[in-house]
Chain A
Amino acid sequence: MIEFHLNSRSGLSPYQQLVQQVRHALRLGLLREGDRLPTVKDVARQMAVNPNTVLKAYRELEHDGLVAARPGVGTFVTRTLADDTLAAQGPLRKDLRRWLAKARLAGLDDESIEALFVSTFRSTAGEDVA
């Protein structure tokens, strides 16, 4: 079982934060197939958050095929994210390290590197949508 928390400075809406925290836990192996997510009522109470927000997050996870709701029993993890991404992470991390070294050589400081990454990330994400 995992415990959720909300970060008011994350820039993400509460429901997106819940989705992200479940995905993160799946990626890190904190949640495994068959694990039960906390009930909507428990999350609503513990976090003082709108139950509709929790429902919306669980529905999105269900739509992504990560969890399944069993009426009257609870919401259960049906798939993990750990295996398929972990394998791919090694080479990508290596590439990123190489790129970071290049960026520092070019004279960029941490802040500039972060700004460049975020703006490029956002603009490619925008292209995918459009």
Chain B
Amino acid sequence: MSAVLRARGLGKRYKKRWALQNCDLEVPAGRVVGLVGPNGAGKSTLLKLACGMLTPTAGTIEVCGGRPAAGVEQLAKVGFVAQDTPVYAALSVADHLDFGKRLSPGWDDAEARDRIRRLGLDPKQRAGKLSGGQRAQLALTLGIAKRPELLILDEPVAALDPLARREFMQDLMEAVAEHELSIVLSSHLVSDVERTCDYVIVVVDSQVQVAGDIDDLVAGHYRLTGPRRDMDALPAGQHVITASHTDRQTTLVVRTDTAVHDPSWTVDPLGLEDIVLAYMARPADAVRDTRPALEVVR
């Protein structure tokens, strides 16, 4: 399967601080990818590397088969909706569409105008006068009408109220259904990611902690609770993500491809939110230990 995003040893350093490092990814095309992690973890850096607004300090990144922003053709393949969906305040809605039309070789003018009409936006309205939700919808319209292969959105709904957020996501999902469009979006709302994405990348402390198909991840992680014990006694196929102990009880979050048969454990399935939280909670030096296990997902 062709990859829409491929990174090998990718890293970005700002002066002395690494914003992203040792990033290996292979994201298949046609997916809706959720990029989650705490603020400052490196999500925006990864997205900006993918659309060519930043250049790597280390390693390589390839998007839709080419180097990000390498030329006109490459620029046309990738759409980017930046954080807080910026628009030109002094320009009208119609000006924005003209702008998109001139800059994008694949521009779908009929779709753009149809969307603006359905959204009830006045083409003569200045973008600076739009509400947050309308501004986000205008930015999304530009992103969709450009007809990219990959649309990247950085925290697109973070500033929106719940209704505007739902409407934005409805339009985005409709666009995915209509066009052959891959999406990478960052969010810290795991519930949104669970609903709208089928692939997740968890970034914590400038490192990719886990990446994979959401259904596979949910099927491969369990919470084990049982009498207190040492973790050395676990079967080879079980990788401990987090462990906590009281004087009598041990609670583990494990990743495994096979069923857990040990009858002394109470085995509970985990939802995506619990899995993401487990990866966020685990110590940073644990990443390398589980690297081989991550290969299974790809």
A residues neighboring B (CB under 8 Å): 6, 8, 11, 13-15, 40-41, 44-53, 56, 122, 126, 129-130
Contact B166 A50 (CB under 8 A): no
User: In the complex, what residues of B have CB within 8 A of residue A50's CB?
Assistant: 32, 173, 176, 195-198
Contact B214 A48 (CB under 8 A): no
What distance in Å separates the Cβ of A81 from its nearest Cβ neighbour in chain B?
24
Contact B198 A53 (CB under 8 A): yes
Contact A49 B177 (CB under 8 A): no
User: In the complex, what residues of A have CB within 8 A of residue B171's CB?
Assistant: 45
Top 5 nearest A-B pairs (CB, nearest first) are A51-B177, A48-B169, A41-B177, A45-B174, A44-B173
User: In the complex, what residues of B have CB within 8 A of residue A6's CB?
Assistant: 195
Picked from B170, B191, B272, the residue with its CB within 8 Å of the CB of A45 is B170
User: In the complex, what residues of A have CB within 8 A of residue B31's CB?
Assistant: 52
What distance in Å separates the Cβ of A29 from its nearest Cβ neighbour in chain B?
29
Q: Please give me the residue from chain A that is nearest to B174 by CB atom.
A: A45
Contact A52 B195 (CB under 8 A): no
In B155-181, the 8 Å CB interface with A consists of: 166, 169-174, 176-178
**Known contacts A44-B174, A48-B173, A52-B31: A14-B195 contact under CB 8 Å:** yes
**Known contacts A129-B259, A130-B259, A130-B261: A48-B170 contact under CB 8 Å:** yes
User: In the complex, what residues of B have CB within 8 A of residue A48's CB?
Assistant: 166, 169-170, 172-173, 195-196
Is B220 part of the binding interface, using a Cβ–Cβ cutoff of 8 Å? Answer: no
Contact A13 B259 (CB under 8 A): no
Q: Contacts A13-B215, A51-B177 given; 9 further ones with Cβ under 8 A? A: A13-B214, A14-B194, A15-B215, A44-B173, A45-B177, A48-B173, A49-B173, A52-B31, A129-B259
What distance in Å separates the Cβ of A89 from its nearest Cβ neighbour in chain B?
27
What distance in Å separates the Cβ of A32 from its nearest Cβ neighbour in chain B?
26
Q: Please give me the residue from chain B that is nearest to A46 by CB atom.
A: B170
Q: How far is the CA of A8 from the CA of B189 in the complex (A)?
A: 13
Q: Which among B31, B172, B173 has the greatest number of chain A C-beta atoms within 10 A? A: B173
Q: How far is the CA of A47 from the CA of B171 in the complex (A)?
A: 10
User: In the complex, what residues of B have CB within 8 A of residue A40's CB?
Assistant: 177
Is B66 part of the binding interface, using a Cβ–Cβ cutoff of 8 Å? Answer: no
User: In the complex, what residues of B have CB within 8 A of residue A52's CB?
Assistant: 30-32, 176, 198
Picked from A11, A49, A122, the residue with its CB within 8 Å of the CB of B196 is A49
In B3-43, the 8 Å CB interface with A consists of: 30-32
